Structure 1
Amino acid sequence: MPELVLVTGGSGYIAGWAVVELLRRGYDVRTTVRSADREHTVTEAVSSEVDPAGRLSFAICDLTSDEGWDDALKGVDRVLHMASPLGLSSDGPDAMIAAARGGTLRVLRAATAAGVRRVVMTSAANAASPSSYATEGVTDETLWTDPEDPTLIPYRRSKTFAERAAWEFIESHDGPTELTTVLPGAVFGPVLTPDTTGSVGIVGRMVSGRMSGVPRIGLEVVDVRDLVDVHLRAMTSPAAAGERFLATGEFLWMADMARTLREGLGEHGRRVPTRQVPDVAIRLLARFRDPSLREITPALGRRNRHSTEKARILLDWQPRPARRTVLDCAESLIAHGAV
């Protein structure tokens, strides 16, 4: 019998690709969605890449509620916990932190009660970064972000608190369930559907011309397909038990991304902005006209990078070139009519 893998948040960008790849590799998959009306959307998206007939099932669960998690984990061999409650920052940073931490603990309690062999949790490279945005250099998984740093944006704090809570829970648990965490960078690549684009909206805004210029921000670009691959390696490798793995990719300034798109997309790249917006202009806009920019201003000019040597050595993981990922992302958005 094929192993049954639970993927949390099946309607999400990364989780959708995880469902696809698990089915390709012969696993049965159960995925959580917050409401039954999302089941058709997920099935349709997955079907664009692989036939899910008879091997994909659903569980109705919400990370902010205890209801349904025990049933969702029944008979499950392994878990990819990829869901994270986003869009809650309007309720204040404490609400986002509580939701991320509480959701992680709900999944782990149900998983350990069901005797799941291993849980692989998607954290973020921002949970293993120097607190100071001014810091340069290369860091690895031994570093933990200080969640009490008052300069951190709510998302960084929530991911750090959630991963900390996961490790503390497993350390206090005496059962057979193992934990591994994967810490990705900026996730791009092709989309399954124009309705679930995750972080690739940045590329969409560039290609559509909705950005008049690019800020001086650098991203460690990882392809969604490579990110799913490292999750599956971490799910099965004996060497991955009890380990954190950074899964970042090549460092690109947004200006580099823009040039790649402008040069690689031909006629479709004509609206991509190549002008770099001065840091002072971004800060002024954030202060007086667009408060949403305040969360990115600390990252202006920041060059801190992460080492993926651990994933390369222990999991034999090799991500593809970042520029290829950026182009694949844009071409997929164009093909889906999303730009």
Structure 2
Amino acid sequence: MIGDAEDILTYPGRTVTEDNWNTTSSLTREPYSYSKTLAELEAWRIAQEQNRWRLVTVNPGLVIGPALNSSPTNESFTIARQMASGRMRFGAPRIALTVVDVREIAYAHLAAAFLPGAEGRHLLAAESTDVVDLARRLLPAFGSYPLPRRDLPKPLAVAVAPAAGLERGFLRRNIGYDLRVDTTKSRRDLGVRYRPAQASMEEMFGQLVGRGASAP
């Protein structure tokens, strides 16, 4: 929906809605986000050129929760593995993001496909958060793991970004911003009921460490 957290500074109420599009990403700046935007724009172009079917989209944040695959490789499990490994034990940058449980996304797809009144775009986000906040939610159940307990100051995070495989510009544009998302439409029109992010994280992390992640 957006390229960087700082983009919301230009939005009414500094809140992301279905009216917003990613206008700042490109082939050289966050190409992954750019590819998603181009794909959805093309889908809407195709939909508008015919009348045999109607297009309804769901636009989720970072997907969390348990996996069906015995060896999940998605981005959320990659972050969880980094938490479990101790790679972030000295801290992590507070990169703004939203999260949503995979089961809510599955439900939303079914609702979008079969509810007669479903139309247009739908934001899916249970909560706005960041990596450090997500790790702290795991402490009651998984405090024996070297989870990140503090955030890295922005100047330090930017300075060490290349060593962590991150782009300095990306951190400058995403650390220190509150990411607010209006999910009224997905709740009202699709009937999505979001479970707490902590429950989703505990299930996901528990599944991960039960498959051999190294404990301290």
**TM-score > 0.5, shorter chain as reference:** yes
Structure 1 CA distance for aligned equivalents of residues 60 and 25 of structure 2: 22
Tell whether 2:154 aligns with 1:276: no
Tell me the number of residue pairs that the alignment of Structure 1 and Structure 2 aligns. 209
Cα-to-partner distance string for 1:63-122 (whole Å, 9 max, x where unaligned): xxxxxxxxxxxxxxxxxxxxxxxxxxxxxxxxxxxxxxxxxxxxxxxxxxxxxxxxxxxx
Distance across 2 between alignment mates of 1:321 and 1:312: 15
Moved over 6 A (4+): 148-151
Matched, 1:252 2:133: no
Query: Normalising by the residue count of structure 1, what TM-score does the alignment of the two structures yield?
Result: 0.56
Match of residue 232 from structure 1: 110
SS in 2 for 1:159: helix
* 1:235 aligned counterpart, secondary structure: helix
Paired AA for residue 292 in structure 1? L
Aligned to 2:96: 218
Give the corresponding residue for 2:54. 178
The letter of the residue matching 2:187 is R
Question: Which consecutive unaligned segments of at least 5 residues does structure 1 have?
Answer: 1-124
Aligned counterparts of 1:264 and 1:232: Cα–Cα separation in 2: 33
The question of whether the paired residues in 2 share the 8 Å contact of 1:147 and 1:161 is answered with no
Question: Can you give the 5+ residue segments of structure 2 that lack an aligned partner in the other structure?
Answer: none
Q: Which amino acid aligns with 1:256?
A: D
Q: Deviations over 1:252-311 (max 9, x none)?
A: 2322212111222253xx311212111111211236x45534464121112122111001
Which residue of 2 is the match for residue 318 of structure 1?
A: 193
Which residue does 2:73 correspond to in 1?
A: 197
The residue type paired with residue 314 of structure 1 is: D
- Tell me, yes or no, if the aligned pair for 2:6 and 2:177 is still in contact at 8 Å: no
Match of 1:261 among 130, 138, 141: 138
Q: Which residue of 2 aligns with 1:187?
A: 63
Distance 1:148 1:204 in 2: 27
Aligned: 1:142 with 2:16: no
Counterpart of 1:126 in structure 2 is 2
Quick check: 1:193–1:336 contact (8 Å CA) kept in 2? no
Q: 2:166 maps to which residue?
A: 292
- How much does 1:130 deviate? 7.4
Q: How much is the aligned-residue C-alpha RMSD, in angstroms?
A: 2.5
SS at match of 1:132: helix
Contact 1:141 1:246 in 2 (8 A): yes
For 2:192 and 2:33, the matched residues in 1 are separated by 25
Deviations 1:160-217 (A, max 9, x none): 111111101110124x122111100011111223422312211221122122311111
How many Å separate the matches in 2 of 1:162 and 1:292? 24
Which among 22, 25, 42 is matched to residue 165 of structure 1? 42
**Structure 1 CA distance, aligned partners of 2:168 and 2:57?**
29
What does residue 32 of structure 2 align with?
A: 155
Partner of 1:15: none
> SS of 2:7's equivalent?
coil
Name the amino acid aligned to 1:222. Answer: V
Contact 1:131 1:146 in 2 (8 A): no
